[in-house]
Structure 1
């Protein structure tokens, strides 16, 4: 594996202000969400809003380099959307990590692009395709066939949209936690009621599931040995034991690991 590695995920809400501006709506804020959802259904047959209208409320990441692991989040608890983006994008100015995501090439990175442009930010370290650094002509974060950004949903489907899978399903299948709780999407409620720890824990959970699937994918491809894979899994377990906000993730992982032959010994029996 090429270090450093940054596995990441974003959480978003519909940007009501921009939506009202785009569609010329003069409505009370309480009515905007429903109006924009209706317009979107008329446009595309789905409530899923166009990418440029996804306002980022949290970016979480799991970092691995020569010095160890770090789980982090930038959320609206402490930062505006512009500040969240500045902090995340500054990572690429300092280092050029291997970027790992689930559906990041179709959602997370394009949303970051639109929202960074909305706030007038510059991010050549992430979006340069060879104009500044000639090496990025052949290996950049945008090209789906390059490995500077590994979108696991895309590569595991062999770049065929008919084969796309849900992160939750693959995580469960492989013996990892997947999404905990009732599986519903509670991000708008978390933000409205200022449940910031629940928001970051949710986003970090997706990051951790993606990281564990990435390790399995690296094992499949022969990029790491079985002994390296086991060491990294155990290091992740040990690290998460120091992260109180991920106690539930670790507990669910311990139970789910019993369901497959390959993962049943990830947790020593004394900790079951």
Structure 2
């Protein structure tokens, strides 16, 4: 089988990038720069969302299904740089040569990775091989028939499918959590979002008759057994709801 890699990215403001773009020098600290960017977002009615090139990746989580196993984890360690996190993802793509899946890859994850990899002078030939572009599924695009006005949130779809889900929170709250040193919580949130992306993708494959009902149930059972083996409070809580 072609491996499946479903991933999720959580970001914070790139305050050094904001400093460079705004030309503030040392006159503004990180908190002030981020707040200026959030205010501009509110004024433009995009709910605190920054331009993609001014995001900094704080966490990447992957759910991977290969020939024999299912894995869910955050990439790297909490202390690793953004460039290292991105490289870990690119390395996974090179290793597994997977069908990659995201919730909003076309509108967020893929262009974000392009900008940030460019800034960090990284190399990822498979990621940018035009002949491999069909190897990515942006779920919200597929489900909405590429109509932005009818897009649903992953949180809503996960809940409607009976999956435990982390509520959507604003980017300024993630930034506050980051400043408070809550990176473990951010990484755990990213893992849950990556897992739900994978599980929704399984339903999408069933919808398209790419897998049978029996295969779908077997895949869900594999995921549950894998989470049981991880034996962590996070996944115990998840399984108690699912």
TM-score (norm. length: structure 1): 0.81
Higher RCO (Cα < 8 Å, 6 or more apart): 2
**Equivalent of 1:152 in 114, 139, 148:** 139
Aligned to 1:99: 100
Structural RMSD (CA): 1.7
CA separation in 1, counterparts of 2:95 and 2:151?
Answer: 33
2 CA distance for matches of 1:232 and 1:187? 32
After superposition, give the CA deviation of every residue in 1:11-35 in whole Å (9 maximum; x if it has no partner).
0001011012112224321311112
Paired position in structure 1 for 2:206: 219
Alignment check: 8 A CA contact 2:12 2:57 kept: yes
Deviations 1:19-73 (A, max 9, x none): 121122243213111122233445x333210000110010000000112111121
Which residue matches 1:7? Answer: 6
Cα 1:119–1:192 shift into 2, 3 Å: same
Number of residue pairs matched? 235
Question: Which secondary structure state, in structure 2, belongs to the residue aligned with residue 62 of structure 1?
Answer: strand
Q: Distance in 1 between matches of 2:76 and 2:22?
A: 28
Q: Which is greater in Rg? A: 1
Contact residue 6 and residue 100 of structure 1 kept, 8 A: yes
Provide the residue aligned with 1:25 in structure 2: 24
The unaligned stretches of length 5 or more in structure 1 are: 130-135, 254-272
Q: Take 2:91 and 2:225, find their aligned partners in 1: how far apart are those partners? A: 28
Equivalent residue of 2:84, what SS? helix
Partner residue in 2 for 1:38: 39
Matched, 1:239 2:223: no
In the alignment, structure 2 segments of 5+ residues that lack a partner are: none
CA contact (8 A) 2:13 2:55 kept: yes
CA distance in 1, matches of 2:150, 2:37: 30
Moved over 3 A (4+): 39-42, 183-186
- Is the 2:76–2:84 Cα contact (8 Å) retained in structure 1? no
SS at match of 1:35: helix
Q: Assess if the C-alpha contact under 8 Å between 1:171 and 1:178 holds in 2.
A: yes
Residues 107-148 of structure 1: per-residue CA shift (max 9 Å, x gap): 01111110000000111111111xxxxxx1xxx33xxxx3x1
Instruction: Indicate conservation of the 8 Å contact 1:201/1:246, yes or no.
Output: no
Question: Does 1:195 find its partner at 2:182?
Answer: yes
Per the alignment, residue 250 of structure 1 pairs with 239
Residue in structure 2 matching 1:184, options 163, 169, 176: 169
TM-score, length basis structure 2: 0.91
Offset of 1:75 from its aligned partner?
Answer: 5.3
- Distance in 2, matches of 1:184 and 1:89, equals 27
Contact 2:6/2:101 (CA < 8 Å) preserved in 1?
A: yes
Q: Greater shift after overlay, 32-41 or 161-170?
A: 32-41
